[in-house]
Structure 1
Amino acid sequence: MNVVTYSEARSSLKAVLDRVVNDHAPTLIHRRGGNVVIVSEDAYSSMVETMYLLSNPANAAHLAMAIAQDKAGESKPQTLIEV
């Protein structure tokens, strides 16, 4: 994660925002009164979707089971038609 001061972010805001989007990496802005993290819209959307999927205990358990099966080599590729 990139870390910049508030002054650095203010003086080069376009460069900071471009780096967040282009590098797909969040930037922490260190400032008095509390730090702020900037993430791209794609990263934010991904986090919101993940939180939504994991908010349902049954869905979270199903996803955990699928991950365990994949790690154990028990999964097989499927096409969308097969699903």
Structure 2
Amino acid sequence: MKTIKYSNARQTLRTVIDDCVNNNEPVLIESKANKVVIISKAQYDMMINKINGDK
């Protein structure tokens, strides 16, 4: 998982999103107080399907 600082993610958000989608890899964004993970829609859908038992 790629980790970047919030200030860098904010300045290069389009690139961060493109990298996440194209590399099919989550991105961890860290600020001083918080952390958030960005995943692609395809990764999200796959996780939801696993949780729901591929209904």
The TM-score normalised by the length of structure 2 is 0.91
Measured in 2, the distance between the counterparts of 1:49 and 1:34 equals: 28
Task: Structure 2 unaligned segments of length 5 or more: list them.
Answer: none
State the identity as a percent. 35
Larger Rg: 1
Q: Distance in 2 between matches of 1:41 and 1:26?
A: 11
Which letter maps to 2:16? V
Q: With CA pairs under 8 Å and 6+ residues apart, which has the higher RCO, 1 or 2? A: 2
Name the TM-score, length of structure 1 as normaliser. 0.62
**As a proportion of its length, which structure holds more strand?**
2
> Where does 1:4-83 land on structure 2 (aligned, <5 Å)?
4-53=4-53
| Structure 1, unpaired ranges of 5+ | 55-83
**Rounded Cα–Cα distance in structure 1 between residues aligned with 2:32 and 2:17:** 20
Runs (4+) of structure 1 exceeding 2 A deviation are none
Question: For 1:25 and 1:41, how far apart are their aligned partners in 2?
Answer: 11
3-state SS of 1:33 partner:
coil
Count of residues in Structure 1 that have an aligned counterpart in Structure 2: 54
RMSD between aligned alpha carbons?
1.3
